[in-house]
Structure 1
Amino acid sequence: MMEDIVSLSTGHQASNLADNPNMHFSHLLYASNRQLRSAFSTLPRITDPVPQQPRPSPSYLFLDSPTYTKLVQSSTKTGFLIHGKLAHAHMIKTSFKPCLFLLNNLLFMYNKYGEIGYAQNLFDKMLKRNIISYNSLISGYSQMGRYDKVVHAFCQARMAGLKLDKFTYAGALGVCSHTRDVRCGKLIHSLVIVGGLSDQVFLVNSLIDMYSKCSQIEQARLLFETSTVRDEVSWNSLIAGYVRLGFDEEVLELLTKMHQSGLILTTYTLGSVLKACCTKNFNRFGKMLHGYIVKLSLDLDVVVGTALLYMYAKTENLTDAVRIFKFTTHPNVITFNAMIAGFLQTETLSTEYAQEALHLFSEMQRQGMKPSKFTYSSILKACIAVENLDVGKQIHAQICKNNLQSDEFIGSTLVDLYSYSGSVEDGLRCFNSTPKLDVVSWTSMIAGYVQNGHFENALSLFHQLLASGRKPDEFIISSVMGACADMATARSGEQIQSYALKFGIANFTIVQNSQMCMYAKSGDIDLARLTFQEIENPDVVSWSVMICSTGQHGCAKEALQLFELMTASQIEPNQITFLGVLTACSHGGLVEEGLQYFETMKKDYGIAANVKHSACIVDLLGRAGRLEEAEKFVFNSGFEKNPVMWRALLSACRVHKDAAMADRVANTVIELEPQAASSYVLLYNIYHEAGEDKPALEVRKLMQDRGVKKEPGISWIEVGNKVHSFVVGDHSHPMSQLIYSRLEEMLVKIKRSVLNIEKLPLSISKRGMIMNHHSEKLAVTFGIISLPESAPVKVMKNLRVCCDCHTTMKLISEVEKREIILRDVIRFHHFREGSCSCNDYW
């Protein structure tokens, strides 16, 4: 193999190699050269200064600077970054000293494809740099959103004494536009004037854009009016600024002046203005502009027509958007993309609209059009909406066939597709195969982990994101806080909250909503209330989270008061809001109120009851002892085939010890869901507590015969930044001997303090039973040993707490003078001074 490569460096083949880079890549890729592999494996150090060494042995293939330049430029153009890296590795192994032009090409290649670490390493080792080097680095950091690094590179260029050009200043102004830092923007504006570049129309447009995005529209207008150089972009930038700030009259005035100044309102100009009108506030202005376009006979133009379609679709006027689409004589890919995107708007997304989008995608292909990256990214969202993984996999195959799987937008949507379908491993493969990971890709993967219950993996990936130097946005912070909420790890959640405060994203409503949920699920309802009070403009999610949280913590009346405040604030409740209200009524024993809210939801708000709402009503009636009424409701609800309904009724049968109805209900739920262990366990406990041992043993035997395994009870507590887990009779904890000894002391203390033996839990009155060693008792004991006396003991459990443990917790809180907060799979129990917040109604 090496001899074949050496032979390429002579004669006619060498000239072909320079003219045909693909030929060189082929030999580089397939050469089994141990030295090349070694070079590639040490790429993070590829720019280290090469010591003076003797000329390499003839086993190397020698290339000149023009050939290397062509190879790198070809790699940059085609997107095959591996080819460029191999060429760079070959330079190192052959001790080739690249010129500044070649180094700048390498720098541009790494920056373009997000390899900012390699780019910075290469830049640092360059002995000589020019302004192009700095501009390339500034561009790379701008694409990554690392605006602090852009400013640093800009300052380095100034300190190096280089003459900054328009691209350098434009990159710095772009940072000011994104960060809304008008003070820094004004400083750069001064440098532009001092540098004698104020007559560059390119920079004038960047300055207008910066001032308008920083809400300094008067300064932008002044610059526009006093500038001696301006073009269509200048007009469009100022117009977009006025539209963004809601000055529709000024927009009309500028359009008129632009036309009067002799500039032709081209299709691209009108399209740009229409895109700026894609908000509900500018619906009237957009329609006026539509009339003007019709008068100019430009409405049939594919560019303007697509812009009109996009405007109507974004403002949720889908009927008008469809009408424009049908009248477009020669729709192109962009037209189809706009219509597909219109059907997939978040506010109006439904299964019906998603199916329409899929039909349009099929029509595109029938007409012989080649879908773009945007097409595939959008249509994958339609597959998510209709929950059709099979169609999604077919589209994924088309994406791979067209070599588009490396696109970051498509990659993040593929992650969403597989994560929403429960295939988080496939989502991770798509994430790892995306070469240029942006913040959306990280958000999708972290959210996918959280959605599928892989909370520790979500936190681990979040730490990887921080280690990579990327700055997370409010959506990532919200997802990670959601993971902390489900794990009930308040300490980790507090650290993420501190991070959000440090980087100025803690006041986003989506972050505050997740923070509120995190505190509530971690057992601290007071901090959840405080977070809710700090939200400046709470939305429907904010109110719903607070209502659900107070209901789960046993504050039923407070939940109903919050609901009334919500409606008085003109915030319309949704399905989740009513679910929280009904749950609060169920836990609080507010039967009539719950039934009234159930009817209000259907009649006054037009919200159809789903199975969760209906199960709440069954639970509400069942807890109150109205078992026959609850059973009748199940048959009339339309969800009589759903095991959730019958399981709720079965739980009520256990509360009221109705073994006869329990036997009938259990047979129904077991028939509907024969492999669900919870139904068997409930029925077993009902028989066992009623003293009917023979039926109880028959239920256990039936579980064994059918291979149904009960989920083991696990309790956990967070102490000192570490989560400690326990199972029944657990001896794996390092402090297990001390835990059992302390638990025994407390049980003895309880027995001595309680004079009436009938009030004692069964596990204490009959010593030696396994209930003494239930997981929640071990976790609470560990918390009492490890935490200060002033700190409440917060324990989480994956199953419902049993009656014996519930009674024991009340007694422990009394004799130990400690507050105990226990979260089971249903609700929170706050034990204080011998009583529970549920008032034994659970």
Structure 2
Amino acid sequence: MLMMGSFAIIPYNNRTESPLLELSNSLDDFTYTKLVQSSTHSRSSTHGKLAHSHMLKTGHTPRLFLHNTLMNMYLKCNEPDLALQLFDEMPERNIVSWNSLISGYTQLGQYVNAKQVFREARIKNVNVSKYTYASMLSVCARTRDLELGKVVHGLIIISGVGVDAFLSNPLVGMYSKCGRVDQARVVFDKCDGLDDVSWNSMVAGYAKDGLHNEMVRILVKMHRSGVRFGSYVLGSVLNACCMNFESCLTWGKLLHACSVRLGWDLDVIVGTALLDMYGKIGELNDALLVFNLLRDKNVVMYNAMIAGLLRGEDVNDVNDELVKKSLDLFVSMQRRGLRPSEFTFSTMIKACIAFQDLEYGKQIHTHVIKNNLRYDEYIGSALVEFYSSWRLMNDALTCFDSSNKQDVVIWTSMIAGHAQNGDYERALVLFCELLSFGVKPDEFTVSSVLSACANLGGVRSGEQVQSYSVKTGVIASNVVVNSLVYMYAKSGDIDSANRMFEVADKLDVVSWSVMICSAAYHGCAKEALTIFGLMISGGIRPNDVAFLGVLTACSHAGLVEEGFRCYETMKKNYGITPTEKHSACIVDLFGRAGRLSDAESFIISSDFSHAPVMWRCLLSSCRTHKNMDIGKRVAERLIKLDPQASSSYVLLYNIYNDAGMEPQATKVRDLMTNRRIKKEPGLSWIEVGNQVHSFLVGDKSHPQSAKIYEKLDEVLEKIKKIGYVDAKKSKNNSSCVTVNHHSEKLAVILGLISLPASAPVRVMKNLRVCQDCHTVMKLISKVENREIILRDPIRFHRFRYGACSCGDYW
């Protein structure tokens, strides 16, 4: 590349230069202008640069018009640096020069540079034209710079150029996009020469701000003024009708009728907006009618229809028939020869999640690979979610590794997938990798990792995530606050959960529900009921989760009448249909109170008489109250309903064993052996520092195993002195050793020898705590003067000063 003056000369080709450069004499301005303009039209600067170089080589001095043409060419060919260099070297400039540079920067999206050039023009007292003002208003609209927009508006008034339609339209657009639709209306009302764009901009402004009544009024006024609706304005209004406002369906159908009368109903923009509107407000039959009438269907229309069929608060709420229709549409799209977009594939993968169709999802994945879209972040995220829903984490990891990992969405899906499948430690590791990768987590990422901390019981890790959320500002999100409340509550730190709840700026139904459930699982029944009362008095309508928390609280506290009354209120006053979980709470409520016959009658009369969880709750109560007759009958029924569930056999075995009926207990154990049913091993874990330590019964794999067992023997001797009856006196020696070495005891001992004396010992367990361990924990808390918090699948037990928060009612 040869250099001539300040500009580069581009070789015409590899062998010869352009004939233009072989000319020794300069051409006239007219010829140069035509050559430069040809480059402008083709968006290729090659010939324009050759012409410019020839001017420099022959010493031709271009006039101002040619200079402006050259600068415009460089801007249109996306070479703003050369345009600015030329602008700086021009011996003279006029308003066209300044306006071309501002307009060029605006079109290239270099808004900061456009603003800077405008300020320089003002400093040099350049009398800019209305074209310059229009460009600057566009910049202010796109950057949401209201202050500069007001300055430009003031300059327009002072300059006396007049606010006609040419400037009123960008003014209306600027104020609307900056959130000042009231100011936009003032400009609109003062403008004499309103055109279609003016009306459409005003309608779109009201639609964007959700001022639907004003939007409708201006639409009516527009119609009465004789202005013909365009597809753009109809599309904007129809999109606004998707929002949740009064009579949205009525207005939507009225606009649909108008579009039919005006002949716009088959327009691509209007047709797609109609599909989107009917889909979002749940009128799927109307959406299908519109879809079937559209002749030249494109990918966007198919996407809108598929999304409408699958739309819901949760993809899993969509019924199978709608999911099947969406899958059929996907097939129809391909038969028409239309190539699905990234949005199509990501939506269809979510449909496969809802339809629980693994094979179809794999076929979609094959199409993704065939269309070379496996690197797309949103498709990758959907695939990760799809394989995670089937617990195929290796396949999910393959999809994750195939992406470029620059988008936080796919990281969030991967973290959430591990958390939902119980691999909480891996979820935390992924979060650390995300940070080291330079990707900034959003509120959903933080919420997912806090969920992992909650289920792991990792309060220290949760505190670190909270510190990060404060530092980055995502803690302002209700999603993060609610997750923090849940994390602290499920990790056993109910006091920190209460503090998070109290300092929250905005409390929604999720916030209240999480707090009610937290109090319930910690055995704070009165607090749970008080929070529930405050929620209702505050005008928050309780959801099914809030009622589940209240029912759980009543069950754990033995408040039978209050609990049953709450159950009836949920159905009658709030129209919430009880789920299996709500009904199981009532069974547990009756069962804990010893009303086993009432519990059995409730199950039989409910809609969940075939649900194993209902009978399992009753069987557990039969063991607690040592009711052999009902227990045996319930166990036999439960084993028929769920013959592979080990918990049913274990409960029946324990009922016989507690009653001293060893032959019957042996038969149950032999039945488990014959059916190859294995009892789920008890697993307990504790977080010490930044590490989680896990234990099985009789576990000796821990590095501090010798020290743990030595301390355990020491503690057992201490509690014997204050009344603990050793298991040896009621069981054979091998059983005694097993009970004494239960996993939760080993985890608690590690906490005693590893944590500061002032720190509570928090232990999590996957199975319900046994009677002996419950007794031992109370006594350890007394002789060691330590607070012990033990979480099992049912509830929290908080041991202090020789007593438990459950009041031995568990």
Q: Give the alignment's TM-score, normalised by structure 2.
A: 0.75
Report the CA distance between 1:447 and its aligned residue.
1.5
Alignment partner, residue 507 of structure 1: 476
Structure 1: which amino acid aligns with 2:209? L
1:394 is paired with a residue whose SS is helix
C-alpha distance in 2 between matches for 1:191 and 1:440 = 42
Residues 1:743 and 2:707 aligned together: no
Are the counterparts in 1 of residues 210 and 240 from structure 2 also a CA contact under 8 Å? no
Alignment partner, residue 727 of structure 2: 762
Alignment partner, residue 749 of structure 2: 781
Question: Which one of the candidate residues 196, 199, 216 is aligned to 2:132?
Answer: 199
Alignment partner, residue 13 of structure 1: none
Structure 1 stretches of 5 or more lacking a match?
Answer: 1-63, 68-99, 102-129, 137-162, 175-183
Question: Which one of the candidate residues 289, 294, 300 is aligned to 1:334?
Answer: 300
Alignment partner, residue 346 of structure 1: 312
1:346 is paired with a residue whose SS is coil
Residues 39-71 of structure 1 show CA distances to partners (whole Å, capped at 9, x for unaligned) of xxxxxxxxxxxxxxxxxxxxxxxxx9999xxxx
C-alpha distance in 1 between matches for 2:121 and 2:408 = 32
Assess, with a 3 A threshold, how the Cα gap between structure 1 residues 387 and 263 changes in structure 2: closer, same or farther. Answer: same
Question: Which one of the candidate residues 246, 264, 272 is aligned to 2:210?
Answer: 246
C-alpha distance in 2 between matches for 1:298 and 1:710 = 67
Alignment partner, residue 544 of structure 2: 575
Report the CA distance between 1:676 and its aligned residue.
2.2
Larger radius of gyration: 2
Are the counterparts in 2 of residues 205 and 233 from structure 1 also a CA contact under 8 Å? no
Alignment partner, residue 492 of structure 1: 461
Residues 1:731 and 2:696 aligned together: no
Alignment partner, residue 553 of structure 2: 584
Alignment partner, residue 321 of structure 1: 287
Question: Which one of the candidate residues 817, 821, 829 is aligned to 2:785?
Answer: 817
Report the CA distance between 1:498 and its aligned residue.
1.2
Are the counterparts in 1 of residues 102 and 135 from structure 2 also a CA contact under 8 Å? no
Report the CA distance between 1:836 and its aligned residue.
0.9
Alignment partner, residue 623 of structure 2: 654
C-alpha distance in 1 between matches for 2:478 and 2:199 = 35
Structure 2 stretches of 5 or more lacking a match?
Answer: 1-10, 15-44, 47-74, 82-100, 145-175
Residues 1:839 and 2:800 aligned together: no
C-alpha distance in 2 between matches for 1:525 and 1:764 = 38
Alignment partner, residue 326 of structure 2: 357
Are the counterparts in 2 of residues 209 and 241 from structure 1 also a CA contact under 8 Å? no
Residues 502-543 of structure 1 show CA distances to partners (whole Å, capped at 9, x for unaligned) of 111102111111111100110011221222223333223222
Residues 1:602 and 2:566 aligned together: no
Structure 2: which amino acid aligns with 1:516? V
Residues 644-670 of structure 1 show CA distances to partners (whole Å, capped at 9, x for unaligned) of 222212211110112343333223323
1:199 is paired with a residue whose SS is helix
818-827 or 422-431, which deviates more: 422-431
Structure 2: which amino acid aligns with 1:811? L
RMSD: 4.0
Alignment partner, residue 505 of structure 2: 536
Structure 2: which amino acid aligns with 1:773? H
Question: Which one of the candidate residues 243, 264, 270 is aligned to 1:304?
Answer: 270
Residues 766-816 of structure 1 show CA distances to partners (whole Å, capped at 9, x for unaligned) of 896332222211221221222222221111111111100101111111222
Assess, with a 3 A threshold, how the Cα gap between structure 1 residues 187 and 572 changes in structure 2: closer, same or farther. Answer: farther
- Structure 1 residues 192-231: aligned runs within 5 Å: 199=132, 204-211=137-144, 215=179
Question: Which one of the candidate residues 220, 241, 244 is aligned to 1:280?
Answer: 244
Report the CA distance between 1:366 and its aligned residue.
5.1
Assess, with a 3 A threshold, how the Cα gap between structure 1 residues 343 and 189 changes in structure 2: closer, same or farther. Answer: farther
Are the counterparts in 2 of residues 406 and 436 from structure 1 also a CA contact under 8 Å? no
C-alpha distance in 2 between matches for 1:379 and 1:252 = 36
429-438 or 234-243, which deviates more: 234-243
Are the counterparts in 1 of residues 106 and 135 from structure 2 also a CA contact under 8 Å? no
2:474 is paired with a residue whose SS is coil
C-alpha distance in 1 between matches for 2:221 and 2:115 = 27
Structure 1: which amino acid aligns with 2:755? L
Are the counterparts in 2 of residues 172 and 188 from structure 1 also a CA contact under 8 Å? no
Alignment partner, residue 399 of structure 1: 368
412-421 or 483-492, which deviates more: 412-421
Report the CA distance between 1:682 and its aligned residue.
1.8
Assess, with a 3 A threshold, how the Cα gap between structure 1 residues 260 and 472 changes in structure 2: closer, same or farther. Answer: farther
Are the counterparts in 2 of residues 170 and 203 from structure 1 also a CA contact under 8 Å? no
Assess, with a 3 A threshold, how the Cα gap between structure 1 residues 173 and 537 changes in structure 2: closer, same or farther. Answer: farther
Assess, with a 3 A threshold, how the Cα gap between structure 1 residues 219 and 347 changes in structure 2: closer, same or farther. Answer: same
C-alpha distance in 2 between matches for 1:763 and 1:168 = 86
Are the counterparts in 2 of residues 208 and 238 from structure 1 also a CA contact under 8 Å? no
309-318 or 789-798, which deviates more: 309-318
Structure 2: which amino acid aligns with 1:245? D
1:795 is paired with a residue whose SS is strand
Are the counterparts in 2 of residues 763 and 772 from structure 1 also a CA contact under 8 Å? no
1:709 is paired with a residue whose SS is coil
Residues 698-729 of structure 1 show CA distances to partners (whole Å, capped at 9, x for unaligned) of 32233233322222222111121221222222
Structure 1: which amino acid aligns with 2:210? G
Assess, with a 3 A threshold, how the Cα gap between structure 1 residues 634 and 469 changes in structure 2: closer, same or farther. Answer: same
Report the CA distance between 1:824 and its aligned residue.
0.9
Are the counterparts in 2 of residues 622 and 630 from structure 1 also a CA contact under 8 Å? yes
Assess, with a 3 A threshold, how the Cα gap between structure 1 residues 193 and 655 changes in structure 2: closer, same or farther. Answer: farther
Q: Give the alignment's TM-score, normalised by structure 1.
A: 0.72
C-alpha distance in 2 between matches for 1:413 and 1:262 = 48
Structure 2: which amino acid aligns with 1:762? A
Assess, with a 3 A threshold, how the Cα gap between structure 1 residues 239 and 408 changes in structure 2: closer, same or farther. Answer: farther
C-alpha distance in 1 between matches for 2:261 and 2:758 = 76
Structure 2: which amino acid aligns with 1:551? A
1:733 is paired with a residue whose SS is coil
- Structure 1 residues 670-819: aligned runs within 5 Å: 670-754=639-723, 760=725, 762=727, 769-819=737-787
Report the CA distance between 1:219 and its aligned residue.
7.8
1:536 is paired with a residue whose SS is coil
Report the CA distance between 1:480 and its aligned residue.
0.8
549-558 or 189-198, which deviates more: 189-198
2:797 is paired with a residue whose SS is strand
Residues 1:425 and 2:390 aligned together: no
Question: Which one of the candidate residues 344, 351, 354 is aligned to 1:385?
Answer: 354
Residues 3-55 of structure 1 show CA distances to partners (whole Å, capped at 9, x for unaligned) of xxxxxxxxxxxxxxxxxxxxxxxxxxxxxxxxxxxxxxxxxxxxxxxxxxxxx
Report the CA distance between 1:276 and its aligned residue.
5.1
Alignment partner, residue 71 of structure 2: none
Report the CA distance between 1:191 and its aligned residue.
7.6
C-alpha distance in 2 between matches for 1:735 and 1:632 = 51
Alignment partner, residue 145 of structure 1: none
2:476 is paired with a residue whose SS is coil
Structure 1: which amino acid aligns with 2:484? Q
1:703 is paired with a residue whose SS is helix
Assess, with a 3 A threshold, how the Cα gap between structure 1 residues 735 and 400 changes in structure 2: closer, same or farther. Answer: closer
Question: Which one of the candidate residues 354, 372, 386 is aligned to 2:341?
Answer: 372
Residues 1:267 and 2:227 aligned together: no
Residues 656-700 of structure 1 show CA distances to partners (whole Å, capped at 9, x for unaligned) of 112343333223323333332222222222222222222223322
Residues 324-369 of structure 1 show CA distances to partners (whole Å, capped at 9, x for unaligned) of 3344344333222212212222238521433333343344445554
Number of equivalenced pairs: 680
C-alpha distance in 1 between matches for 2:324 and 2:349 = 12
Are the counterparts in 2 of residues 208 and 220 from structure 1 also a CA contact under 8 Å? no
Assess, with a 3 A threshold, how the Cα gap between structure 1 residues 777 and 213 changes in structure 2: closer, same or farther. Answer: farther
Structure 2: which amino acid aligns with 1:244? K
| Fraction of identical pairs, as percent | 54
Assess, with a 3 A threshold, how the Cα gap between structure 1 residues 770 and 413 changes in structure 2: closer, same or farther. Answer: closer
